[in-house]
């Protein structure tokens, strides 16, 4: 609603101010127009203040809008005695508003897409255009192949990235054999910056493989923590000991689980769970619920498992569902989830998903990461479970993402885990036989880089609770400097040491 009131109130303010200056020698009309301006401008200011955006972005928009008000009001005041010039100027301004101005104002604060369609299989391609509109040069290609065009991304603050310059292209079944030809033709056309596949995304989960040691935790009373073998390895008990003397974080950090949904009613999650709305609070697969428990299960509640998070005053967990009921999603849906998470105010975005990538560049993912970073979120993704190099898997290989490998109880890289030595920010966490929450009040052990990823996300959320200003480079430096060197060296990355990292931000 605010995104509609904003342009209307501004245009009425502009009209009122122009007429106020134009009729300034006519007392009664001038007073009426001044009232119109003041009331509509007050509505404009209130709308601008309460619209969801950062303060810096709002100030930039305010400067733009006030500049236009000042220039046009002075211009009309200067030429008001020449009726012909006033008439021509009014026609020109009306035309600009009709064809450019209103859409520009309306798009200043675009609506967030509330529903994410995990199965965006009707769109095969993602194309970055030069100005975010479908170039006229595409017309013949669209007609020739019957292509479907849609704008897939609607960030609240489009100026923070180039996401609004992407279009999604759907190819009819009868033309799918021509996809490579279509891509070549698109690359040759004026207005095209980049063309990439809308790649299929799956969940990074394996069947349980190994036996694990038991844990003797001293600072939490959750009965199933004895089955969380990674607790000791990542210094979980030490974290809770530190937290007992530091009960006041600077903010309540928000971790967004971009996955299959989360069972927000689970007894070990609900008091620390922030509803994602729509169908995000249900999880037919269980994968997202499992990840949510690893990142932020309620600790010291006398039931189930523990996480690094002491209580909901430090960190909350929310959910964005981007996978369908079969555990399959798309690049478009994943990026939509990232955007929505960032626009919800997430401090950490945890993505235990991915797939083999045929694109050498990850322009769309990297623009999405840049947008999330600009909104204050750190993005963490699973390395993948194919025993390959994560540089060939997306979104794990995108610049700006912290990529997580999985290790086993022997502190060696899990046999299934992809390596992280060729990605920008590689790190390791336990990912074998990880016990966590499961839908309908249950608990389950799963293997995968999927399980290692939210463990890192939980730690990063805790760091952000004490140091909200931390960016990705700073967080990774802390994780790396305080991490433990493992037998597999760079291929696994360093093992997170949560207590050491926490003490680093408290120095």
Residues annotated catalytic, as ranges: 259, 287, 450
Q: What CA–CA distance (Å, rounded) separates 381 from 387?
A: 16
SS3 402: strand
- Find where tokens 């601008």 sit: 48
CA distances from 126 to 148, 192, 331, 362, 486 (A): 12, 11, 9, 11, 39
On whether the CB atoms of residues 24 and 81 are closer than 8 A, the answer is: no
Max CA distance (Å), the chain: 89
Q: What CA–CA distance (Å, rounded) separates 507 from 501?
A: 10
SS3 19: helix
Token output for 440: 């309908």
DSSP codes joined into one string, 163-219: GGGEEEEE--GGGGGGHHHHHHHHHHSTTEEEEEE--EEEE--B-----------SS
Neighbour tally for 425: CB within 10 Å: 23
Q: Quick one: DSSP state of residue 99?
A: I
Q: Any idea what the Cα angle at residue 216 is, between residues 213 and 219, rounded to 5°?
A: 140
Backbone angles phi and psi of 401, in degrees to 5: -100, 140
Q: What CA–CA distance (Å, rounded) separates 176 from 183?
A: 11
Q: 416 in the Ramachandran plot: left (φ > 0), alpha (ψ -120 to 50) or beta?
A: alpha
Token output for 164: 């609004």
């Amino acid at each position: 609603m605010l995104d509609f009131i904003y342009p209307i109130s501004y245009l009425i303010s502009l009209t009122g101010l122009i007429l106020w200056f134009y009729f300034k020698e006519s007392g009664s009309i001038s007073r009426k127009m001044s009232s119109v301006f003041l009331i509509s401008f007050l509505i404009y200011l209130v709308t601008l203040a309460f619209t969801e955006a950062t303060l810096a972005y709002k100030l930039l928009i305010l400067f733009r809008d006030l500049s236009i008000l000042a220039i046009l009001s002075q211009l009309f005041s200067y030429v008001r005695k020449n009726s012909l010039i006033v008439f021509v100027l009014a026609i020109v301004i009306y035309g600009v508003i009709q064809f450019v101005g209103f859409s520009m104002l309306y798009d200043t604060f675009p609506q967030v897409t509330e529903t994410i369609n995990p199965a965006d299989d009707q769109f095969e391609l993602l194309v970055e255009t030069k100005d975010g509109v479908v170039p006229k040069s595409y017309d013949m290609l669209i007609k020739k192949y019957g292509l479907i065009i849609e704008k897939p991304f609607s960030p609240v603050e489009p100026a923070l990235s180039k996401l609004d310059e992407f279009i999604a292209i759907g190819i009819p079944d009868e033309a799918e054999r021509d996809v490579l030809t279509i891509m070549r033709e698109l690359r040759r056309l004026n207005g095209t910056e980049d063309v990439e596949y809308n790649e299929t995304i799956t969940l990074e989960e394996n069947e349980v493989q190994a036996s694990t040691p038991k844990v003797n935790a001293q600072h939490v009373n959750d009965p199933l923590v004895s089955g969380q073998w990674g607790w000791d390895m990542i210094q979980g008990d030490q974290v809770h000991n530190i937290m007992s003397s530091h009960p006041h974080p600077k903010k309540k950090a928000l971790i967004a689980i971009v996955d299959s949904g989360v069972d927000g009613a689970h007894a070990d999650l609900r008091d620390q769970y922030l509803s994602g709305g729509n169908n995000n609070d249900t999880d037919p697969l269980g994968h997202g619920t499992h990840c949510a428990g690893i990142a932020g299960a309620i600790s010291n509640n006398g039931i189930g498992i523990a996480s690094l998070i002491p209580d909901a005053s430090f960190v909350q967990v929310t959910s964005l569902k981007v996978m369908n009921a079969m555990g399959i999603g798309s690049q478009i849906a994943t990026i939509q989830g990232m955007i929505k998470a960032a626009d919800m105010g997430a401090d950490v975005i945890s993505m235990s998903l991915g797939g083999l990538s045929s694109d050498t560049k990850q322009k769309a993912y990297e623009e999405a990461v840049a947008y999330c970073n600009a909104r204050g979120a750190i993005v963490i993704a699973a390395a993948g479970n194919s025993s390959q190099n994560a540089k060939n898997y997306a979104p794990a290989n995108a610049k700006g993402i912290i990529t997580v490998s999985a290790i086993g109880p022997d502190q060696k890289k899990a046999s299934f885990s992809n390596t992280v030595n060729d990605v920008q920010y590689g790190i390791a966490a336990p990912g074998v036989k990880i016990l966590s929450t499961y839908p309908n009040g249950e608990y389950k052990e799963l293997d995968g880089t999927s399980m290692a990823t939210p463990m890192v996300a939980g730690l990063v959320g805790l760091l952000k609770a004490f140091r909200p200003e931390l960016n990705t480079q700073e967080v990774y430096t802390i994780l790396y400097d305080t991490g433990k060197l493992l037998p597999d060296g760079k291929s696994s990355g360093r093992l997170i040491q949560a207590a050491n990292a926490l003490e680093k931000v408290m120095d």
